Amino acid sequence: MRIDIVTIFPEFFGVLDVSLLGKARRERLLELGVHDLREWTHDRHRTVDDTPYGGGAGMVMKPEPWGEALDALLGQAPAAEGERADALVVFPTPAGVPFTQALARELASESHIVFACGRYEGIDARVADDAATRARVLEVSLGDYVLNGGEVAAMAMIEAIGRLVPGVVGNPESLVEESHEAGLLEHPSYTKPQVWRGREVPEVLRSGNHAAIAAWRHEQSLERTRRVRPDLLPAAAEPEPGTGRQHG
């Protein structure tokens, strides 16, 4: 998979050299390109923003450098009519569709994603329309809050997507058992020592009884999800009233 990032703060992305994603880059499972938007400006001040049409506080990112940046990364030719464009351009924005584990999984099968990181009040809206003539475009929100820029959002998405690319995480089974994969939050986890500061690891986990362990973990997942994220439950695993059975 190739990921390109366009930003006015390329230095934000130095952390992508460490840990699992850094290793994935070195092993060429992930190709990452970080590009400074100001490379596509032509004035002495390398200007990327201007005042908003219609008035209001703050500045808006100018379309010209963005247009040139995306031309360079996507190629200028529009995809043939009805043909699926190879590249996907993701615009992180609080006004986008929510980023979820399901979306991360979907995006992990893309071959080329370009992240366009906005700043100020965001990017001139024509940039996304123009990009849609030669790529697929998705506006994605990290959550219901406002960040200063798209960099942290892009980084979070790249980490969530990158770890789902085959080979990036050593043991693929560890990915399947996680929170949000089966619709429930994950059960609590423990390691050695058996007793720490007077707190003992639950006996069932030391029993060697795999069926009992699985049942305990499922019950813990349900309990935690009910307590913390009851909104996740209807589609996942609420007992059917009166039957004690689970959905799906």
If one asks whether residue 63 binds ligand SAM (CB under 6 A), the answer comes out as no
Q: Which of 2, 4, 180, 165 minimizes the C-alpha distance to 90?
A: 4
Q: Which of 169, 151, 154, 178 minimizes the C-alpha distance to 29?
A: 169
Flag whether 29 is marked binding.
Answer: no
CB of 194 to ligand SAM, least distance (A): 42
CB of 57 to ligand SAM, least distance (A): 10
Query: Total residues contacting ligand SAM (rule CB under 6 A)?
Result: 19
48's torsion region: left (phi>0), alpha (psi -120 to 50) or beta?
Answer: alpha
* 86-125: contacts with ligand SAM (CB under 6 A): 92-95, 117-119, 121-122
If one asks whether residue 60 binds ligand SAM (CB under 6 A), the answer comes out as no
* 135-174: contacts with ligand SAM (CB under 6 A): 141-143, 145-150, 153
Residue number with CB closer to ligand SAM (107 or 142): 142
If one asks whether residue 65 binds ligand SAM (CB under 6 A), the answer comes out as no
Residue number with CB closer to ligand SAM (161 or 222): 161
If one asks whether residue 37 binds ligand SAM (CB under 6 A), the answer comes out as no
Rounded Cα gap, residues 27 and 167, in angstroms: 10
Binding residues for S-adenosyl-L-methionine: 118, 142-147
